[in-house]
Chains A and B, each alone.
Chain A
């Protein structure tokens, strides 16, 4: 009986030591620090990304003859696909990249950092729109600190890119989304510096996020955009090209990272083409 007890003690001692040892290894290898909360909006690393990159774009490509822009979208948590996408974009000699929203899946601070880590692998400037998933919890506050305002615009090669927040459902339709005042301001401001316009948004008209009460009003407003070329959007996780309103204005959908394709837009002096890239 006594022998058995001793044996048992030895055995439990072994288990305990293994556990302690295991823990020390665990301690060394893991752990990202003190975690306050997934939605704590305590942003480490780069902030205000859109403003910085727009300044570079406006400076470097102000008078470029031919502009090449990659449009990517809906990264969510398909981070390894997104990494491959970034590598592919880097090989194709584009001037800058526009991400059409849904940088995250649940808008936690960490997810924002993960997708930013992927995007900073790009060898050219990039800007990112806010997607509906990026609003969850305090996600929109994280977006505003990390990227900037939800509506923004910039000019390159005399083309104005107007990036609109169209995620009306996230505000329960209580906010000015889409913001017509912002649109009007953009259509009328700096008209001496641009001749053509490209509209970029996350959710297209008639989608489950858009304020569908104003779909037609939105279209009428777009008529004031000088030299409107086309609209580009994400959200739907497909690669549809459609004339949503049936009046010749083309809407190009940008697929999600998981489906491993995106588009490159080439803007020439008086024309443009959009090419679908698979990788």
Chain B
């Protein structure tokens, strides 16, 4: 959240600079102003467009974070999440962070199917695809093999970083403009995910079935754009 405040304050500062530059009542933008505007827009794009919360997915019991949705028809999303793993039977609870990329190729306007609901209100995404990198913190986990091991002792990259893939679906609700308070859209999603180690185990053993390595997650996203 500190970073968020920092970004917002920088954006506000640059915005105020723009106001001051606007005082010079020149109708035609000068090169400086055009450059400044471009720079404003670049900084503005750093403001997160949504808040996301989800459970499971090999990133903790519960994860929450900020995200940016962008691209044509908002087909792309990038999210930064912090997750929490309870102690369970281990020595202590753990924290994870996740960098997640989502791709939403289609959104179907449900008013075209039922006709009973207003246009553009409910949208259904029949497929979402995600790729995410999870980092778990703790001295038990190493990012690459420590020097005490001979080279290539364990034939996989890291116990700290996990690359995950997920496929899912979501439904989006556009809040009517009169009722908006903090958000403009709300999305509910579920996804099936698995991680690199599990996929590897499936290749190593025919005994490991897809159902053994797939987990389900559910979550919600609150958009401002």
Instruction: Name A's B-contacting residues (CB within 8 A).
Output: 12, 16, 19-20, 23, 26-27, 29-43, 76-80, 83, 105-106, 108, 110-111, 114, 133, 136-138, 141-142, 145, 169, 172-173, 208
Asked if B148 and A169 sit within 8 Å, CB to CB, the answer is yes
Asked if B150 is at the interface (CB within 8 A of a chain A CB), the reply is yes
Residues of chain A with a CB closer than 8 A to B126's CB: 16, 19-20, 23
Q: Which residues of B contact A133 (CB under 8 A)?
A: 154
Which applies to chain A's interface (DSSP): helix, strand, loop or mixed? Answer: loop
Instruction: Give the distance in Å from the alpha carbon of A35 to the alpha carbon of B210 in the complex.
Output: 14
* Minimum CB–CB distance for A82 against chain B, Å: 8
Closest to B61 in A: A36
User: Are B90 and A40 within 8 A (Cβ)?
Assistant: yes
Complexed CA–CA distance, A27 and B96 (Å)? 27
Whole-angstrom distance from the CB of B9 to the nearest CB of chain A?
35
> Does residue B58 face the partner (Cβ distance < 8 Å to A)?
yes
Are A34 and B208 neighbours in the complex by a CB distance under 8 Å? no
For A38, what are the chain B residues with a Cβ–Cβ distance below 8 Å?
Answer: 58, 162, 195, 197-198
> Taking the nearest CB of chain A, how far is it from the CB of B220, in angstroms?
15
User: How far apart are A4's CB and chain B's nearest CB, in angstroms?
Assistant: 19
Q: For A27, what are the chain B residues with a Cβ–Cβ distance below 8 Å?
A: 192
- Bound complex: CA A114 to CA B94 (Å): 24
Query: Hey, which chain A residues are within 8 Å of B156, CB to CB?
Result: 106
| Cβ-defined partner of B149 (8 Å) among A42, A105, A169 | A169
In the complex the two chains form, is B204's CB within 8 Å of A141's CB? Answer: no
Chain B proximity of A136: nearest CB distance (Å): 5
Q: What CA separation (Å) do A208 and B55 show in the bound complex?
A: 41
With a CB–CB cut-off of 8 A, which chain A residues contact B214? Answer: 30-32
Query: What is the CA–CA distance of A141 and B140 in the complex, to the nearest angstrom?
Result: 10
Q: How far is the CA of A105 from the CA of B205 in the complex (A)?
A: 11
Which of the listed residues B58, B162, B197, B204 has the most CB atoms from chain A within 10 Å of its own CB? B197
Q: In the bound complex, how far is the Cα of B201 from the Cα of A172, in angstroms?
A: 27
With A16-B106, A26-B192, A31-B216 already in contact, the answer to whether A37 and B211 are too (CB < 8 A) is no
Task: Write the nearest CB–CB distance from B90 to chain A, whole angstroms.
Answer: 4
List B205-225 residues whose CB lies under 8 Å from chain A.
205-208, 210-217
A136 close to B159 (CB less than 8 A)? yes
Instruction: Please name the residue on chain B nearest to A173 by beta carbon.
Output: B148
| Contact status B140-A138, CB under 8 Å | yes
Tell me the smallest distance from the CB of A110 to a CB of chain B, in Å: 7
Chain A residues positioned under 8 Å from B200 (CB to CB): 106
Q: How far is the CA of A121 from the CA of B210 in the complex (A)?
A: 22
- Whether B30 sits at the interface, judged by CB under 8 Å, is no
Which residues on A sit within 8 Å (CB–CB) of B212?
32, 110, 114
Instruction: Give the interface size bracket for B toward A.
Output: 35 or more
- Residues of B within 8 Å of A145, CB to CB, are 89
B146 to chain A: closest residue by CB: A172
A35 touches B154 (CB 8 A): no
Q: Is the CB of B207 within 8 A of A111?
A: no
Query: Separation in Å of the A88 CB from the closest CB of chain B?
Result: 16
List 30 interface pairs A-B (beta carbons < 8 Å), by A numbering: A16-B126, A19-B127, A20-B126, A20-B169, A23-B126, A23-B169, A30-B192, A30-B214, A31-B211, A31-B214, A32-B211, A33-B215, A34-B215, A35-B56, A37-B59, A38-B58, A38-B198, A39-B140, A39-B159, A40-B90, A77-B205, A79-B205, A80-B205, A106-B159, A108-B201, A110-B198, A111-B201, A114-B207, A172-B148, A173-B148
Chain A to chain B: the 10 pairs with minimum beta-carbon distance, closest first: A35-B215, A41-B90, A34-B56, A79-B207, A77-B204, A42-B88, A137-B159, A145-B89, A77-B205, A30-B211
Are the CB atoms of A39 and B136 closer together than 8 Å? yes
Contacts of A105 in B (CB 8 A): 201, 204
- A32, B201: Cβ atoms closer than 8 Å: no
The docked-state distance in angstroms from the alpha carbon of A27 to that of B217 is: 12
B149 pairs with A39, CB closer than 8 A: no
A203 to chain B, nearest CB (A): 12
Residues on the B chain within 8 Å of A19, using CB: 126-127
Q: Which of B89, B211, B215 interacts with A29 by CB under 8 Å?
A: B211
- On whether the beta carbons of A137 and B140 are closer than 8 Å, the reply is yes
Q: Which residue of A lies closest to B154 (CB)?
A: A136
A77 — which chain B residues lie within 8 A by C-beta?
A: 201, 204-205, 208
> A39 → chain B, closest Cβ, in Å?
7
Contacts of B91 in A (CB 8 A): 138, 141
Q: How far is the CA of A37 from the CA of B164 in the complex (A)?
A: 11
How far is B206's CA from A83's CA once the two chains are assembled, in angstroms?
12
**What 5 new A-B contacts, CB under 8 Å, besides A23-B167, A23-B169, A42-B89?**
A30-B210, A33-B216, A36-B86, A39-B141, A108-B198
Contact residues in A for B88 (Cβ distance below 8 Å): 40-43
